[in-house]
Amino acid sequence: MAVGRPVGGVSGARGLHDFLRSVAVIGVSVGAFTDVGMVRSLNEDHYYVGTHIWLVADGMGGHAAGEVASEIVVDTLRSLDRDHLEQQQIVDAVMAANSEVLAYGRAHPEARGLGSTVTGLARIDIGGAEHWAVFNVGDSRVYREYGGVLSRATVDHSEVEELILQGVITAEQARWHAFRSVVTRSIGTEPPPQVDVWVFPQTPGERFIVCSDGLVAELDDGDLQSILNRSADAESAARALLDAACEAGGSDNISVIVVAVAADERAEVEEITNPRSHLNVEVTSE
């Protein structure tokens, strides 16, 4: 297990990928990279690769505050990397991270207003059977690919996503919209944000992309699918995705984790939930 951190702090040079070695656990292989991109001088993304949870956090705020916020989020949620994780524990950890980010802002006035997105994929236990939980706050994403079909497993919490859902703009128009970077939920807010959690059984041969919005700012879903199709493994897929985003412009920090489930991993999954169930959790402050 390891935490991915920005390379060189302020370096924008290409080739300084913060590559985390491909990690193999039972039935799963993982590759992960982060990069400052081609425009910005500071990488405010952090990620975590464990054996039970994979996270990406994208920080927001000036004077390096975003880097601090995303680090707080990852450091808090990495405690979830354990056996027999439960769905509610994910929500509780996100709420704890929200409190920690708020506390940092109160203690450091120069960083007031800092925040972060978070998204992740986790192994959770439901009635003794292992399932996936996908969760997010903000516009960092998880994608699922199976049988040659790529689909988004999370819903962005952003102004442009709401406009898409209302039929005002298309997904393609959203990529260039003036409000494309405006999120409607983030870590570090009062009252705390809602956490979306999606739960579904595991399937042999499926693959996941966990990423910050810097990846999808440059690549559309067709690009992602094409790169996955020609990648031999999780490591090469993650690197190819990051390189393609940088070559397409790299306008933001880019973090990407690819989690690949072995095709011959035949875990017995008891159907005790719907094939895909959703928990949208709202936590109210005291």
The predicted-structure confidence for 151-179, as pLDDT tens digits, reads as follows: 999 999 988 777 867 788 777 776 777 67
| Cβ 88 vs Cβ 78: under 8 Å | no
pLDDT above 50: residue 265: no
Query: Domain locations in the chain?
Result: 2-263
Top-level class of domain 2-263: alpha beta
Least confident of 33-37, 162-166, 191-195, 252-256: 162-166
Q: Would residue 167 be called left, alpha or beta, if left means φ above 0 and alpha means ψ between -120 and 50 degrees? A: left
CB 57 within 8 A of CB 78: no
Asked if 102 and 61 count as a contact pair (C-beta separation under 8 A), the reply is no
Radius of gyration for the chain, computed over Cα atoms and rounded to the nearest angstrom:
18
Q: Enumerate residues 6+ apart whose C-beta is below 8 A from 120.
A: 53, 54, 55, 56, 77, 90, 134, 135, 136, 142, 210
Read off the DSSP letter of residue 194.
Answer: P
Better-predicted residue by pLDDT, 128 or 52: 52
Confidence (pLDDT) at 1: 52
The two tokens of residue 51 are 């054996």
What pLDDT is stored for residue 263 in this prediction?
87
**Amino acid identity, residue 272?**
I
Give me the mean pLDDT over the 276-285 stretch.
41
Backbone φ, ψ for residue 89 (5° rounding): -65, -30
Q: Model-level pTM? A: 0.84
Cis peptide before 204 (omega within 30 of 0): no
